[in-house]
Structure 1
Amino acid sequence: MRNPPKRPGEYPDREIDCQKAVEPSFQAIVDCMLEAGWARGEIMRSLRRLISADNMTQKENAKVEAQLAIARAMSRAGRPL
């Protein structure tokens, strides 16, 4: 990571710090794609798909985490899964 967040863990400006850290990498990717001959529309579609895939992964991970939390709670309560 080029510019890691200022502080580890959760804090109010973490999202802004993370965005600042990631932005140069996205710019480098776009520059490489332009140099390779990609059209701007193709680049934007590709980045949107990448973001969409990440969003879907985050949703699925949240579902799995919720299921694991329920399973742990049931196990602690002595109930069968």
Structure 2
Amino acid sequence: MINPPKHQHGYIDREIDCQEAMEPGFQVIVDCMLEAGWTHGEVMRSLRRLIAADNMTQKENARVEAELAIARAMIRAGKAL
């Protein structure tokens, strides 16, 4: 069972609570992969690659959002892109 957030709005430890809520799910995934015959090293490398891919996606999304904000500001200011 995954515990819901303590509050629906942001609070200081929300990310920690989220990590704690996700941990049992990741453990089940790891256990299933190990039972299927994957080695511990392969499972950990795969999880690290998933994290790295998510980090790259977040950076790219932030870059695109910044470019959009600049473009919107230029349009509001009447400047050509």
TM-score (norm 2): 0.88
TM-fit CA distance, 1:10 = 2.5
Q: For 1:31 and 1:8, how far apart are their aligned partners in 2?
A: 31
- Correspondence 1:1-80 to 2 at 5 A: 2-80=2-80
Q: Distance in 2 between matches of 1:12 and 1:42?
A: 34
Aligned counterparts of 1:54 and 1:27: Cα–Cα separation in 2: 19
Alpha-carbon offset, residue 30 of structure 1: 0.3
Q: Which structure carries more relative contact order (alpha carbon 8 Å, separation 6+)?
A: 1
Q: 1:61 to 1:13 in 2, by over 3 A?
A: same
For residues 4 and 70 of structure 2, the distance between their equivalents in structure 1, rounded to whole angstroms, comes to 34
> In the TM superposition, what whole-angstrom CA distance separates every residue of 1:2-36 from its partner, at most 9, and x where no partner exists?
22322223321111111112111111110110110
TM-score, normalised with respect to structure 1: 0.88
Q: What are structure 1's unaligned runs of at least 5 residues? A: none
